[in-house]
Amino acid sequence: MAEHTTNYTSTFIEVAEDCPADHAQEPPAGETPTIAELHYRMIADHPFQHTSDDVIFATWALRRGIDPSDAAARTAFFAKGQACLRASPLGKRYGWGVLSDADGRVTLVPRESEEYALLAADPALGHTRAMRAKRS
């Protein structure tokens, strides 16, 4: 059984073209953590420590009461393709770019920052955008 991955390497995921936030915003905390909140906490609190696969699986597992360290559940989860961080609300709604390093570990970059502008113009990186919230 082939394992799929959501990881990018040396790639910058820019915010979606229709992202309503002109400045990066922390997703609001709720009684039940949202996908955006879980993605934000995991990446912002631990920059360059997790891969996209780590973040996507842990979010899925936590929302279902599954231990994120359950290797069998992770293998089953990635046995089929999964949405990557391009589909995360962080880049679609909240104004965060996602930078993946050469090892696929991720960090957040606020869209209004100088770092974001430099990364968006860096020809040494792969470039893609977060998915649009609405079809054009």
**Tens digits of per-residue pLDDT, 22-58?**
999 999 988 889 999 999 999 999 999 999 999 999 9
98 and 84 Cβ atoms separated by less than 8 Å: no
Q: Which of 1-5, 35-39, 75-79, 100-104 has the lowest mean pLDDT?
A: 1-5
Number of structural domains, the chain? 1
**Alpha helical stretches, state H, 1-136:** 35-44, 52-63, 71-77, 89-92, 114-120
Does some domain include residue 136?
no
**Domain span including residue 33:** 11-129
Does some domain include residue 40?
yes
Does some domain include residue 134?
no
pLDDT at 76 over 60: yes
End-to-end alpha-carbon separation of the chain, Å? Answer: 36
pLDDT at 136 over 80: no
pLDDT at 64 over 70: yes
Does some domain include residue 6?
no
Does some domain include residue 57?
yes
CA distance 95 to 53: 21
